[in-house]
A and B are shown apart, each in its own frame.
Chain A
Amino acid sequence: MSETSTKDFSVIGKSVPKIDARDKVTGRAKYAGDLKVPGMLIGKILRSPHAHARILNINTSKAMELPGVAAVITARDVPSTFYGISPARYDETILAIEKVLQVGDKVAAVAAVDEETAVKALALIDVEYEVLPAVLDPLRAMDEGQPQVHPQYERNISVEIHQDFGDVEKAFRESYVVRTDCFQGNRATHVPMEPHAAISKWENGKLTIWSSSQSPHYFQYHISRVFGLKMGDVRVIKAFVGGGFGGKLEPSAAEYVSAALAMKTGRPVKIVFDRKEVFFHNRGRHAQHIELTTGVTKEGKILGVHAKFIIDGGSYTSLGIASAYYAGAMLPLIYDFDHFKFDGLRVHTNLPSCAAQRGHGAPQPRFAFESQLDMIAKELGMDPIEIRKVNARQPNTTTLNDLKVNSCEFTACLDKATEISDWAGKKGKLPPGQGIGIGCGGFITGAGYPIYRTRLPHASAVIKISEQGDTATLYIGAVDIGQGSDTILAQMAAEAVGINYEDVRIVSADTETTPHDFGAYASRQTLMSGHAVKQAGDEIRRQIIELAADLLEANAADVDIDRRVVFVKGSPEKTLTFENVANEFFIRKGPLVGKGSYAPPKLGGKFKGAAVGTSPAYSFAAQISQVEVDEETGQVMVTKVWDVHDCGTVINPSLLHGQVEGALFMGMGEAMYEQVVFDDKGKPLNANLGEYRVPTALDVPEVISELVDSYEPAGPWGVKEVGEGATLPTMGSYANAIYDAIGVRLYDLPLTPEKVWRAIQDRKKLL
C-alpha cells in the first residue's frame, strides 16, 4: 500500500499524524459526556414501553417531590413545534403530545442533581396509556385497515416515488436475458462508540449547547426554530465526537430535552444517552425490500433496469425522504444504461426511525444489483468482471438521471482489483468450499443541495496569521467526527499558504467562532470545505507575495512561497522568511486574514427528486472478496478483501486508507451480522452491544486497500470522495463469493450462518 506521495506537493499527499491524535491517545480529548459545567444538572428521559399508545394522563407530582429533583417536564412544558430534518415533513416533537409512536418514544423528562436521583424520579412518574394496535410489518403497513402511525400520512405512506427514464418495457423486449429477483435488506444501525450527549446552558436569553454533532449548523437551525430563538442566540459547539456515521446529523432528544430543561431550571443540564437510547433514537439503515428486474443483451450490455422498493421508515420521517430517493438515484451511477424505472415506497411503522447511515440509502440496492449482475453473467456464460467492464461508466458522461460525472476511473479499478486479487488464477479454480466474488460501488462527494432550502454557501473558511507570523489558525465550520477533516483541512491550509502543517492551528465546528459549513455528511468536506480553505490560503499567499515583492524589489509574478520561505524565482539569494513578511504585513496593514467559500454549481435535472444524487464529483470502487464456507455449519469466513478506490488526489494517504478500511468494515458488519430485531410488540430484543453483533478484531478479514491514479477537476487539488463509497460494494461481493464457493445464492441480509445453512439444505432437496 502506497502511503507516501509521488506528487509534487509540500504538505498535502503526506501521511502527517492526525492533529488531535495526541489528545485522543492520552485521554485528554473531551467528548460532550466528559464535560462538566458549574452548577450542572443531569437530565433523563422517560421513554415509552409501548410501540403505539395514547397518553391519557401523566402524573409527575411524586417525582417532583423527590429531593434533588429540579424539574419534571412533559409536552405541556415545552414548545409543541413539530421538527424534523426533511423539509415539509416535520412530524416529531420534543416530548410526545398525544401519542407515542414507538418503544422508546419520549414521554417526559427530569433534571436532578445526579443521575441516580434522575433515574429514581423517572420511576415516580405515573403515565396512563391506552395501548393501540401497532404497525410492525412494513409490507402490510400500507394496507387498508392498518392502524395509522401519523394522521397526516394516509395508509402510512411516508413518500411514494415514481421515476421513469426512457422506455424500460421496450428495453426488456429487446433484451436477450431479463431477470427479476427479490432481495431483502436488514435494519442495521450506526453504533457510534460514543452515545449521543449534550450539555445545554441557558443564560441571558442565549442557549449554548455542547454536543456530539455531525452538523452544528443544522443543529443551530432546527433548535432555534423549535424554541423560537434567533439563530444568533443559539450557539452549538461540537465537542470531540466519538463517531457518527449518519446518526448524529440531526439534533436528538439529548439536545432538545436538555435545552428545555436548562430553560426551565436556569441551570446547565447534561443528557447522555445510554446504549439502549441510542437504539431508540436510531436513524440507521432502512431495511429495504427490493424487486429488481434487469435486461441485458447477449453481450452483457445492460439495456434497462426496473427497481421497486418498499422500505421501512419507522416512526418519524427524519431524513428518510432523501434515503428513499437515494435508493434508486444511485443505481445508474456506476454502470451506464439508458432505460430505468424506479418505484419507491417508504412506509411508517411503530419501530425506531430510519434515516442516513454511511452510504445513505444506496448500499442495499447496490447489494441487489451486484448480486443480480453475477446471476446474469452466469446465464450468459460471462466472467463477472467482464460484464462489469462492458457496462462500466466512463469519464465525462452524464447518467440517465442527469448526474454529471467528471473523473471516473472505474474500469481501472476493475482492472487493478482483478490483478491484485489474482482473480484469473482463482475464479472457478479454488478448492471446494472456497470462493471469490466481486462487488462495486460509487458515491457522491457532497450533496449538490443542502437539506433545507437556503442560498448560503456550502462551506466557508477563514485563515488568520498570527501577529508574529509564526502560526496560522484555520477557522472552519467543518466537522471532524473522527474521519480526520481537521487534519486534512489543516494540511490544505498549509499547502495553500505555503507554510508547514505544524504551523497550523484549527478552530472548528462552533457556530459562533467559526464560519458556516453544513457539516460531516454525504462525504462532502474534503471537496467542499477544502475549496473554501484553498481560497482562504490563496488570499493570504497573494497578500504575502505582494508585500514581499515590494520588500525584495521584485516582480510579484516572480515571487513564490514554499514551506515558510518567500523567494524570488531564479534568484536564490533573494529570500525572506514567512514570519518576517507576515509580521511586517501586520505592522503596516493590520490583521493578515484570508477567507473563502464554496457553493457547487447548479446541478441535476428538472424531474421530481432530481436533486438527490447530484454532486460535484463521484467516486468509484471495486472490491473483491475471498471466502471459505463450512457447509456443515453455514459459517462463512471472509479471508481477504481487496478494495480499489478511485478517489481523486489523496491529501493524507494513511487517513484515506483508514476511511476505506472503516467503510468496508461497516459494510462487512451489515453483510454478515447486523440486524436490530423486535418482538411482536415492537420492543427491540437486541438493543445492546452484546446481542447487536458488530464485528470484533477477531472477525475482520485481511484488507488490502489500493488506489488508481485519478484527478477530479471539480475538487481542490483534484480531490473527491472516500468516506462512504467503500461501504457499498461489500455486501454484494460477499454474496457473490459465497455463491462461487458453494453454489448457493443468498437474497436476504445479513448473510448469517443460519441462512447459508438453510440455503444449502434447500439446494440439497432440489438435487
Chain B
Amino acid sequence: MVTAIKKGNLHVVRLVVNGEEHAALVKSNTTLLDLLREEFDYTGTKKGCELGDCGACTVLMDGKTVNSCLVLAVEANGHTVTTIEGLERNGELDRLQEEFINQAAVQCGYCSPGMILSAKALLVRNPHPSEREVREAIGGNLCRCTGYVRIVKAILAAAEANS
C-alpha cells in the first residue's frame, strides 16, 4: 500500500477513479464513501447504513468489491476505484446496466449501483456463473423492493450475453 502523505491533520490521497486521476486532502477518519460522494461528487455510490451491512456503497477497488463505508480514504491512496459512473463508456452502457433495464430489475434504484458493481466483479472473475453463484455474489447487497427475482435474472442474462 502507498502511504498517504500527511499535511498537518490532513492527508494527501491520490487515486484513480473511473480512469481519471484524483487527488484530495482528507482527514484520517474520512471514508472512501464520503470522499467519493462529497469531494468527487460520485453520488451514484449510495449511503445506506454506514456499517457495511447493506452494500449500497459497494464500489470496485482494484477490481474487487468493497463497502466504501468501511474503507478509509487514506487506505484508497494509490488504488484504482470504479464507481457506477465508471461503467458507462462513451455513452454506451455496460451489458449489466442494459440487462438491469431490460429485465425490470430496477425499482427504487437505491441498491442498483452497488448491486451492479457486485455483479460486475463476479462476471469478471467468473463469466458464466450459476444462479447460486450470482446469489452469493450479491448476498451482501440488500434490496428491499424486488425480492431479487429480476436482479438475478438480469445478471444471468448479462452473463449469457458474454458467451
Q: Assuming A661-B147, A665-B147, is B48 touching A193 (CB within 8 A)?
A: yes
Query: Among the listed A116, A243, A484, which residue makes an inter-chain contact with B144, where contact means beta carbons less than 8 Å apart?
Result: A243
What is the CB-to-nearest-CB distance from A119 to chain B, in angstroms, rounded to a whole number?
Answer: 11
Taken residue by residue from 639 to 661, chain A's Cβ proximity to chain B (1 for < 8 Å, 0 otherwise) reads as 00000000000000011001001
* Complex contact B104–A688 (CB within 8 A): no
Q: Is A241 an interface residue (CB 8 A)?
A: yes
* Complex contact B151–A24 (CB within 8 A): no
Q: Give every chain B residue within 8 A of A28 (Cβ-Cβ).
A: 44, 85
Taken residue by residue from 36 to 49, chain B's Cβ proximity to chain A (1 for < 8 Å, 0 otherwise) reads as 01000111111111
Q: Assuming A26-B85, A664-B147, A698-B136, is B107 touching A34 (CB within 8 A)?
A: no
Taken residue by residue from 109 to 120, chain A's Cβ proximity to chain B (1 for < 8 Å, 0 otherwise) reads as 000000010000
* Complex contact A31–B110 (CB within 8 A): yes
Q: Is A572 an interface residue (CB 8 A)?
A: no
* Complex contact A26–B88 (CB within 8 A): yes
Of A191, A242, A274, most buried by chain B (CB within 10 Å of CB) is: A242
Q: Which residue of B lies closest to A35 (CB)?
A: B43
Q: Which residue of B lies closest to A655 (CB)?
A: B104
* Complex contact B139–A25 (CB within 8 A): no
Q: Give every chain A residue within 8 A of B134 (Cβ-Cβ).
A: 697
CB proximity to A under 8 Å, residues B10-46: 27, 29, 37, 41-46
* Complex contact A25–B56 (CB within 8 A): no
Q: Assuming A27-B43, A194-B110, is B85 touching A17 (CB within 8 A)?
A: no
Q: Give every chain A residue within 8 A of B144 (Cβ-Cβ).
A: 190-193, 243, 245, 662, 666, 694
Q: Assuming A191-B144, A275-B48, A689-B142, is B37 touching A34 (CB within 8 A)?
A: yes
Assembled-state Cα–Cα distance A195/B47 (Å):
8
Q: Give every chain A residue within 8 A of B56 (Cβ-Cβ).
A: 193
Q: Give every chain B residue within 8 A of A242 (Cβ-Cβ).
A: 46, 108-110
Q: Is B135 an interface residue (CB 8 A)?
A: yes
* Complex contact A17–B102 (CB within 8 A): yes
What is the CB-to-nearest-CB distance from A519 to chain B, in angstroms, rounded to a whole number?
Answer: 15
* Complex contact A25–B110 (CB within 8 A): no
Q: Give every chain A residue within 8 A of B77 (Cβ-Cβ).
A: none
Taken residue by residue from 191 to 227, chain A's Cβ proximity to chain B (1 for < 8 Å, 0 otherwise) reads as 1111100000000000000000000000000000000
Assembled-state Cα–Cα distance A661/B107 (Å):
11
Q: Assuming A193-B144, A697-B151, A697-B152, is B106 touching A272 (CB within 8 A)?
A: no
Q: Give every chain A residue within 8 A of B27 (Cβ-Cβ).
A: 116
Q: Which residue of B lies closest to A29 (CB)?
A: B109
* Complex contact B54–A27 (CB within 8 A): no
* Complex contact B44–A27 (CB within 8 A): yes
CB proximity to B under 8 Å, residues A237-258: 240-243, 245
Q: Is A141 an interface residue (CB 8 A)?
A: no
* Complex contact B46–A25 (CB within 8 A): no
Assembled-state Cα–Cα distance A661/B84 (Å):
26
Chain B interface size, as a band, is: 35 or more
Q: Is A700 an interface residue (CB 8 A)?
A: yes
Assembled-state Cα–Cα distance A481/B101 (Å):
17
Q: Give every chain A residue within 8 A of B135 (Cβ-Cβ).
A: 697-698
Number of A-B contacts (CB under 8 A): 169
Assembled-state Cα–Cα distance A26/B53 (Å):
23
* Complex contact A194–B146 (CB within 8 A): no
Q: Is B51 an interface residue (CB 8 A)?
A: yes
Q: Give every chain A residue within 8 A of B68 (Cβ-Cβ).
A: none
Q: Give every chain B residue within 8 A of A31 (Cβ-Cβ).
A: 46, 110
Query: Among the listed A30, A274, A697, which residue makes an inter-chain contact with B141, where contact means beta carbons less than 8 Å apart?
Result: A697
Q: Is B81 an interface residue (CB 8 A)?
A: no
Q: Give every chain B residue within 8 A of A654 (Cβ-Cβ).
A: 103-104, 150
Q: Is A297 an interface residue (CB 8 A)?
A: no
* Complex contact B104–A243 (CB within 8 A): no
Q: Give every chain A residue within 8 A of B45 (Cβ-Cβ).
A: 27
Assembled-state Cα–Cα distance A688/B54 (Å):
9
* Complex contact B110–A243 (CB within 8 A): yes
Taken residue by residue from 86 to 119, chain B's Cβ proximity to chain A (1 for < 8 Å, 0 otherwise) reads as 0110000100010011111011111111001000
Q: Give every chain A residue within 8 A of B51 (Cβ-Cβ).
A: 275, 688-690
Q: Which residue of B lies closest to A21 (CB)?
A: B101
Q: Give every chain A residue within 8 A of B37 (Cβ-Cβ).
A: 34
Q: Give every chain A residue within 8 A of B97 (Cβ-Cβ).
A: 25-26
Assembled-state Cα–Cα distance A432/B45 (Å):
47
Q: Which residue of A lies closest to B86 (CB)?
A: A27
Q: Assuming A242-B109, A662-B107, is B100 touching A25 (CB within 8 A)?
A: yes
Q: Give every chain B residue within 8 A of A696 (Cβ-Cβ).
A: 139-140, 142, 148
Assembled-state Cα–Cα distance A191/B54 (Å):
11
Taken residue by residue from 268 to 279, chain A's Cβ proximity to chain B (1 for < 8 Å, 0 otherwise) reads as 000010110000
Q: Is A20 an interface residue (CB 8 A)?
A: yes
Q: Is A382 an interface residue (CB 8 A)?
A: no
What is the CB-to-nearest-CB distance from B111 to chain A, in angstroms, rounded to a whole number?
Answer: 5
Assembled-state Cα–Cα distance A668/B148 (Å):
13
* Complex contact A240–B109 (CB within 8 A): yes
Assembled-state Cα–Cα distance A766/B149 (Å):
41
Q: Give every chain B residue within 8 A of A27 (Cβ-Cβ).
A: 42-45, 83-85, 113
Q: Which residue of B lies closest to A193 (CB)?
A: B110
* Complex contact B50–A274 (CB within 8 A): yes
Q: Is A482 an interface residue (CB 8 A)?
A: yes
Q: Give every chain B residue within 8 A of A662 (Cβ-Cβ).
A: 107, 144-147
What is the CB-to-nearest-CB distance from A404 to chain B, in angstroms, rounded to a whole number?
Answer: 32
What is the CB-to-nearest-CB distance from B94 to chain A, in angstroms, rounded to a whole number?
Answer: 9
Q: Is A140 an interface residue (CB 8 A)?
A: no
Q: Is A320 an interface residue (CB 8 A)?
A: no
* Complex contact A661–B149 (CB within 8 A): yes
Q: Assuming A25-B116, A194-B46, A696-B139, is B106 touching A18 (CB within 8 A)?
A: yes
What is the CB-to-nearest-CB distance from A363 to chain B, in angstroms, rounded to a whole number?
Answer: 16
What is the CB-to-nearest-CB distance from B10 to chain A, in angstroms, rounded to a whole number?
Answer: 13
Q: Which residue of A lies closest to B84 (CB)?
A: A27
Q: Is B74 an interface residue (CB 8 A)?
A: no
* Complex contact A33–B47 (CB within 8 A): yes
* Complex contact A15–B104 (CB within 8 A): yes
* Complex contact B145–A698 (CB within 8 A): no
Q: Give every chain B residue within 8 A of A655 (Cβ-Cβ).
A: 104
CB proximity to B under 8 Å, residues A32-91: 33-34, 36
Q: Is B76 an interface residue (CB 8 A)?
A: no
Q: Is A483 an interface residue (CB 8 A)?
A: yes
* Complex contact B85–A484 (CB within 8 A): no
12 A-B pairs, CB-CB below 8 angstroms?
A22-B93, A30-B43, A116-B27, A191-B144, A194-B108, A242-B108, A274-B50, A275-B50, A654-B103, A658-B146, A688-B49, A688-B51
**Which B positions have Cβ atoms within 8 angstroms of A?**
27, 29, 37, 41-51, 53-54, 56, 83-85, 87-88, 93, 97, 100-104, 106-113, 116, 134-136, 138-152
New contact pairs (20) apart from A34-B43, A696-B142, CB-CB < 8 Å: A18-B101, A26-B84, A27-B83, A27-B113, A192-B144, A194-B46, A242-B110, A243-B110, A274-B50, A275-B50, A482-B108, A662-B147, A696-B139, A696-B140, A696-B148, A697-B148, A698-B135, A698-B136, A698-B139, A703-B149
**Which A positions have Cβ atoms within 8 angstroms of B?**
15, 17-18, 20-31, 33-34, 36, 116, 190-195, 240-243, 245, 272, 274-275, 481-484, 654-655, 658, 661-662, 664-666, 668, 688-690, 694-698, 700, 703
Q: Which 7 A-B pairs have the closest CB atoms?
A: A27-B44, A482-B108, A24-B109, A665-B147, A242-B110, A654-B104, A689-B53
